[in-house]
Amino acid sequence: MVEAEEIPTIDRAYIVSEKSLSLIAKHIKSGLTVIRLGMMLNIPNTVILRYLMSICGKYGLRDATEKEVHQLGKNLLIYWLRMKEHSKHKEKASLLTTALVECSLEGIANIVLENYNNQTEITDDQFLRYQ
C-alpha cells in the first residue's frame, strides 16, 4: 500500500500573515477594489486616503500603476493586520474572507478559507485557479 504524501501543516497565524496579505494584494488588480476592501475591513478613511496619496500621488488612482495598486493594497492589509493583532486567528480569517466576498473577490476568499481550514500557507500558485 502506498502511503499518501503528508501535507505539512502550519500554525493558523501564517494564513493571515504579512506574507499572505502581500500575495492577496498582488492579485487585486483594481485600485477601487483595494480601497473598497480597506473600507470593508473598517480601516479609517483618513488612513486609506493617506496611503493613497503617499503611494499614488496627488492624482490618486487615475494614473496609478499596477505596482502602486499592489503597494496600496499591501499597506492597507498590513495596517489592518496590526489593527487586529490581538484578535484570534479565526476572527481575522473570517473578517478577511467576508470583506473579500463583499468586494466580489470570492476566488481569493476561497483561497483564504481553504488554507485556514487546511492549516496550509497561501502560495502564489493558488491564485492561478481564479484568474
Indicate whether 94 belongs to any domain.
yes
Residue type, 75: N
Q: What is the pTM of this model?
A: 0.85
Q: Quick check: 1 pLDDT over 70? A: no
* 129 domain-assigned: no
The pLDDT assigned to 14 comes to 58
How far is CA 32 from each of CA 37, 50, 91, 131, rounded to the nearest angstrom? 9, 15, 25, 18
Instruction: Write down the H helix ranges in the chain.
Output: 18-26, 31-40, 45-56, 66-83, 89-102, 106-118
- Asked whether residue 130 is domain-assigned, the answer is no
Residue range of the domain that includes 71: 12-124
Q: Is residue 5 part of a domain?
A: no
Structural domain includes residue 118:
yes
Give the whole-number percent of the chain exceeding pLDDT 70. 87
If one counts the domains in the chain, the total is 1
